[in-house]
Amino acid sequence: MMHALTAPLLRHSAHTRGWHRFLEHRPAAISAVVLAVLVLLAACQPLIVAAMGHDPDAVDLLARFEPPSWGHLLGTDELGRDVFLRLLAGGRVSLFVGVIAALIGTFVGTLVGICAGYYGGRIDSILMRTTDAVIALPLLPVLIVVAAIDPAKLGIPEAWRGGDGADLTRIVVIIALFGWTTVARLVRGAALALREQEFVRAATALGATPLRIMRVHLLPNMASPIIVATTLSVGHVILFESVLSFLGLGIQPPRASWGNMLTGAQELIWSAPMLVVYPGMLIFVTVMAFNFLGDGLQHALDPRATRRGERRTA
């Protein structure tokens, strides 16, 4: 009876404490606001385009390198396209690719890690040796090769290859293919530790299937580190997407992305330096915000780490 009465109260206060710890981490709180603004702008991009009255992909060679004006808030680029609208469109792409690829990576990593940690033995050593091998790869050169392969030679039907979002799908798959290793190691470690705990042994003794143990007993108990790792990985994905797009292997023009807006930048540093500053600054701020957010979430969700820190500073 007693327990039933206090449980909701306790849960409530734990949540509040977590929330306070998050707000305490000032860079993370600021980052959350920055990201909220960026997401809002990206979500409203079609409305803003409609309000401004021109297409972000429309080329106008008679209006190249125009200075900022009410018609073009940040001026126009080397092909006379509206820089502000292209930055918004690019932000939509970067945030979409970042979040989706990070989520897929987390899913794969969790699957690999939980199997390795729960089953142990040979399955563990095969999965973890594979993970180590992927981690040891010089990632960027390998990503460049993978980005350059021809899907036709893989036997992927024409219908899946063409179409409007082909470059988006492609980059998400490529990055997710290599982005699962951190989560896999993390989840394996957590599963190894949890596997030996009383409640998991009790569940096994009661005849729970491995699938049920993983789903009901292991996963909920490792949610915090997974959430933190996913947040951090969004930042990494956005960095890799921007590098690949910059090199001409990611998001393909005319679709704008922050990376491919910098593709011709080496010439622009002489003529139009601001065109170099804007997209890079947005990548920088977004990635940094995700990194701070992840740090803040860790602070909020992992009380043990905090308590140790508090004892130190006291």
Partner 1 sequence: MGRYLAGRLIQTALVMLAMSLAVYLLIGLMPGDPIDLMVSGDPRITAADSERLRALHGLDRPLWERYLSWLGPALGGDLGYSRLHAQPVLSVLMPYLGNTALLMGLSFVLAVVLALPLGIWAARREGEPVDHAINLFCFAGISVPPFWLALLLMMLFAVALGWLPAGGVETVGGGGFWDRAVHLVLPVATLTLASVAGYARFMRASTIEVLRRDFVRTARAKGASESRVVLHHVLRNALLPVITLVALNFGALFSGALITETMFSYPGMGKMIYDAIMANDYNLALAGLLLATLLTLLANLAADLGYAALDPRVSLERAAA
Q: Enumerate binding residues for partner 1 (CB under 8 A).
A: 27, 133, 135-142, 144-146, 148-150, 152-154, 235, 239, 242-243, 246-247, 259, 262, 265-266, 269-270, 273, 276-277, 279-280, 283-284, 287-288, 291-292, 295, 308-309, 312-313
User: Toward partner 1, which CB reaches closer, 37 or 58?
Assistant: 37
**Residue 185 · residue 258 · CB < 8 Å:** no
Least distance between partner 1 and beta carbon 292 (Å): 6
Half-sphere exposure of 58 (CA within 13 A, CB side): 13
Kindly state the DSSP code that residue 64 receives in the 8-state scheme: T
Distance in Å, CB of 219 to partner 1, minimum: 27
In the complex, the smallest distance separating the C-beta of residue 191 from partner 1, rounded to whole angstroms, is 22
- Considering beta carbons, is residue 188 or 217 the nearer one to partner 1? 188
For residue 264, report the phi and psi dihedrals to the nearest 5 degrees. Answer: -90, 20
Nearest distance from C-beta of residue 48 to partner 1, angstroms? 25
- Which CB sits closer to partner 1, 121 or 220? 121
User: CA 283 from chain center: how many Å?
Assistant: 12
Alpha-helical (H) ranges within 166-259 are 166-178, 181-195, 198-205, 210-212, 223-246
Neighbours of 128 (CB within 10 A): 17
**Ramachandran angles phi, psi of 76, nearest 5°:** -125, 160
Closer CB to partner 1, residue 15 or residue 129?
129
Detail the DSSP E strand segments found in 60-166.
none
Nearest residue (CB) to partner 1, 117 versus 235 = 235
Q: Which is nearer to partner 1, 36 or 137 (CB)?
A: 137
Instruction: Report in angstroms how near the CB of residue 100 gets to partner 1 at its nearest.
Output: 20
Gyration radius from the chain CA atoms: 23
C-alpha–C-alpha distance, residues 158 and 64, integer Å: 37
CB burial class (10 A; 0-12, 13-18, 19+) of residue 6?
Answer: exposed
**Lookup: tokens for 156:** 């992927």
Alpha-carbon distance of 298 to 303, in angstroms, equals 8
Least distance to partner 1, CB of residue 27, Å: 8
CB of 279 to partner 1, least distance (A): 8
* Contact by Cβ (8 Å): 228, 298: yes
- Three-state secondary-structure class, residue 82: strand
**Residue number, 100 or 244, with CB nearest to partner 1:** 244
Q: Which is nearer to partner 1, 118 or 298 (CB)?
A: 298
Shortest CB 283 distance to partner 1, Å: 5
